[in-house]
């Protein structure tokens, strides 16, 4: 299960409701003239997770107002309601106080941090934002932290981790009350430092408000989430919020155009470049390809530091991720040489993850689900093989439609054989999503004979594996580490890694069965 928001820190002193009202400059509307302090021990915005002593945050949602659930929250023991004027009208006369502010979501982080003891002040949190690379960079950072004798926490897309205890993640960055509770649990369990992905949604929606970062890092920006942000400028401005003072130090990749722009606005930030930017603080001096996709890196850093990294992750983009990770660790005061040695063997679930079923070609799963990421992964695969790239790709429903044709075009340009399939269609018609990807792919005149549409993702993976020859690469793109497929209102069990391995093993079995009779005849 995902990290349970009902898991709370233990033994923290309650906070007076009057103090919280003053903190967020809320109108405190009591049901009577009682001077009772209404001690608060928790906060949540989900009525089904209210515990006795909680503030229930009744917020306007996409379909209904959270105030509709006040009755359930009161029954579970809520001692106060945080809401807006609309929520107060819906609440009517209730037996607990109301905290009324114009935008309740914007103060959730501040309230939660106070209720849970300001946990980020006791942790060294390294936050990573960007369209691509957040997960990989966070894993590299965490490896470096462990090498420097830190008890670590990880918060991100793939999983939440407290020490060695692992929880699947529901969001890249949790909602503010869940995040502050999680950080407080980490403090109580002796965590020293946290590697954390910070999404643009989290920054825009205040999920990381009142979270103190030792380092905030920016990897890159490319088209994604425009269904939420509207345009690239708004998307960039959301990412830039990580550099508004909540992080002591910034780290920025100068090889990205938006990174260059960000560095001009934040000249004190540490900079990295894998493309020989003369003014970068951390630079790639040289790279040599090794066996098994390992990249041997020579890196120079501030104060004459010279580091060697044998990076197990292929692709130029992973070199940039490694540079960002090292710069973050150094900026946070950790030993860069120890960190460099530790990140060498890191493998990230669903990110350029190789799958071995005894086949004579390369088979990989990658989370690439946006145009720039797909292009980067395809380029990395091209550099690693002599044969064809066979690609299985789709696009998510109820998300940025503008990237679908672009992804189809990228696929057609860089892959030799393409199976267009379903990703997470959600509430959309899957065939319509596939048609948009197909339209982009067909903009290339030679693409028609290389395109196949197979809606069933399992069947598409098997078809791709069946088509592979020695020296080829089969790349399953889009879902990476995910363990489910969102279809309609259901999440059905589905793993690209498991399905690819099963297809490879089936192929091996079939080939063995074909060869065995011939061997028997020889005997």
Question: How confident is the model over 215-269, as pLDDT tens digits?
Answer: 999 999 986 666 665 788 998 999 999 999 999 999 999 999 999 999 999 999 9
User: What is the number of alpha carbons within 13 Å of residue 166 lying toward its C-beta?
Assistant: 5
Least confident interval from 71-75, 219-223, 328-332, 372-376 = 219-223
As a whole number of Å, the CA-based R_g of the chain is: 25
Predicted confidence band of residue 442 (pLDDT cuts 50, 70, 90): very high
- Quote the pLDDT of residue 521: 47
Q: In angstroms, how far is CA 172 from the centroid of its own chain? A: 4
Q: Is the pLDDT of residue 336 over 50?
A: yes
Query: Which two structure tokens, joined as six digits, stand for 56?
Result: 């229930």
For the chain, give percent helix, strand, coil, nearest 5: 40, 20, 40
Q: Is the pLDDT of residue 364 over 60?
A: yes
Predicted confidence band of residue 167 (pLDDT cuts 50, 70, 90): confident
Q: Is the pLDDT of residue 2 over 50?
A: no
Question: Phi and psi (nearest 5°) for 419?
Answer: -110, 110
Q: What mean pLDDT value characterizes the chain?
A: 92
Q: Which residues contact 84 (CB under 8 A, 6 or more apart)?
A: 59, 60, 100, 101, 102, 103, 104
Of 291 and 402, which is predicted with more confidence?
402
Secondary structure tally for the chain: helices H, strands E? 17, 24
Dihedral sign from CA coordinates of 329, 331, 334, 337: positive
Question: What mean pLDDT comes out for the span 109-121?
Answer: 98
- Quote the pLDDT of residue 479: 96
Query: Which two structure tokens, joined as six digits, stand for 165?
Result: 């205890």
Q: What is the pTM of this model?
A: 0.86
Q: Is the pLDDT of residue 122 over 50?
A: yes
pLDDT for 451-462, tens place per residue?
999 999 999 999
d(CA 301, CA 284): 9
Q: Is the pLDDT of residue 4 over 80?
A: no
Q: Is the pLDDT of residue 5 over 50?
A: no
Q: Spell out the SS3 assignment of 360-394.
A: CCEEEEECCCCHHHHHHHHHHHHHHCCCCEEEEEC
């Amino acid at each position: 299960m995902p990290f349970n928001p009902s898991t709370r820190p233990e033994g923290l002193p309650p906070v007076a409701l009057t103090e919280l009202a003053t903190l967020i400059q809320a109108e405190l509307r009591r049901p009577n003239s009682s001077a009772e302090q209404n001690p608060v021990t928790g906060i949540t915005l989900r009525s089904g997770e209210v515990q006795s002593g909680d503030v229930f945050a009744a917020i306007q949602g996409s379909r209904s107002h959270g105030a509709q659930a006040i009755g359930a929250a009161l029954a579970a023991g809520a001692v106060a309601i945080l809401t807006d004027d609309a929520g107060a009208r819906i609440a009517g006369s209730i037996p607990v106080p109301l905290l009324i502010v114009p935008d309740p979501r914007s103060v959730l982080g501040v309230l939660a941090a106070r209720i849970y003891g300001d946990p980020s002040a006791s942790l060294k949190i390294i936050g990573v934002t960007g369209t691509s690379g957040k997960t990989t960079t966070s894993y590299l950072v965490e490896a470096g932290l462990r090498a420097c004798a830190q008890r670590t926490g990880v918060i991100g897309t793939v999983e939440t981790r407290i020490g060695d205890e692992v929880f699947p993640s529901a969001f890249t960055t949790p909602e503010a009350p869940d995040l502050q509770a999680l950080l407080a649990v980490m403090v109580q369990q002796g965590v020293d430092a946290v590697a954390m992905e910070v999404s643009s949604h989290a920054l825009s929606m205040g999920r990381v408000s009142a979270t103190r970062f030792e380092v905030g890092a920016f990897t890159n920006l490319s088209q994604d989430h425009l269904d939420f942000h509207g345009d690239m400028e708004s998307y960039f401005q959301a990412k830039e919020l990580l550099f508004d003072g909540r992080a002591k130090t910034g780290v920025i990749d100068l090889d990205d155009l938006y990174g260059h722009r960000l560095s001009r606005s934040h000249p004190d930030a540490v900079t990295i470049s894998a493309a020989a930017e003369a003014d970068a603080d951390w630079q790639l001096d040289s790279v040599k390809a090794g066996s098994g996709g390992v990249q041997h890196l020579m890196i120079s850093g501030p104060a004459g530091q010279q580091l060697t990294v044998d990076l197990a992750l292929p692709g130029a983009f992973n070199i940039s991720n490694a540079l960002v990770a090292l710069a973050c660790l150094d900026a946070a005061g950790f030993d860069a040489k120890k960190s460099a040695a530790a990140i060498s063997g890191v493998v990230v679930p669903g990110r350029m993850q190789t799958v071995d079923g005894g086949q004579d070609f390369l088979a990989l799963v990658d989370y690439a689900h946006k145009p720039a990421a797909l292009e980067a992964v395809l380029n990395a695969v091209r550099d690693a093989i002599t044969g064809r790239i066979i690609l299985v790709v789709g696009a998510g429903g109820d998300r940025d439609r503008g990237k679908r044709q672009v992804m189809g075009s990228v696929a057609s340009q860089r892959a030799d054989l393409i199976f267009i399939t379903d990703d997470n269609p959600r509430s959309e018609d899957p065939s319509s999503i596939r048609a948009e990807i197909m339209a982009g792919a067909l903009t290339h005149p030679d693409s028609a004979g290389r395109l196949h549409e197979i809606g069933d993702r399992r069947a598409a993976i098997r078809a791709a594996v069946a088509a592979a020859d020695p020296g080829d690469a089969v790349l399953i793109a889009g879902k990476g580490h995910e363990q489910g497929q969102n279809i309609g209102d259901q999440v059905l069990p589905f793993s690209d890694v498991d399905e690819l391995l099963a297809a490879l093993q089936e192929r091996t079995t079939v080939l063995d069965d074909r060869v065995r009779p011939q061997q028997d005849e020889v005997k």
